[in-house]
């Protein structure tokens, strides 16, 4: 019996994996338009964005929601 979350697209994904996927898929410019936070628009980078997203619940939720929408396209 497996104890997982087979229907949860976030299961097993780190925030870093999600962010790297979105940056590869959209690029920083488009990502900054889709999610309006300064860490995507002003001198963007993975480490600084992760630091902000780990501290800011609402921003992390927006990133996770965009990831789920992107996967379902």
pLDDT digit string, tens, across residues 8-26:
888 889 999 999 999 999 9
Residue 23 belongs to a domain with what CATH number? 1.10.720.30
pLDDT given for residue 54 in this prediction: 96
In a domain, 22, yes or no: yes
Does residue 1 surpass a pLDDT of 70?
Answer: no
Extract the tokens encoding 60. Answer: 């992390």
Q: Report helix, strand and coil shares of the chain as percent, to nearest 5.
A: 65, 0, 35
- Decide if 71 contacts 37 (C-beta within 8 A): no
Tell me which residue range forms the domain holding 50. Answer: 15-71
Domain count within the chain: 1
Q: How far apart are CA 20 and CA 29, in angstroms?
A: 14
Q: Is 59 inside a domain boundary? A: yes
Query: Per the domain annotation, does 10 fall within a domain?
Result: no
Distance between CA atoms of residues 11 and 9, nearest Å: 6
């Amino acid at each position: 019996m497996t104890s997982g979350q087979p229907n949860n697209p976030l299961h097993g994904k780190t925030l870093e994996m999600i962010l790297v996927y979105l940056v590869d898929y959209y690029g920083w410019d488009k990502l900054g338009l889709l999610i309006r936070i300064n860490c995507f628009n002003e001198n963007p980078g993975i480490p600084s964005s992760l630091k902000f997203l780990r501290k800011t619940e609402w921003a992390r939720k927006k990133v996770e929601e965009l990831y789920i929408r992107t996967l379902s396209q």
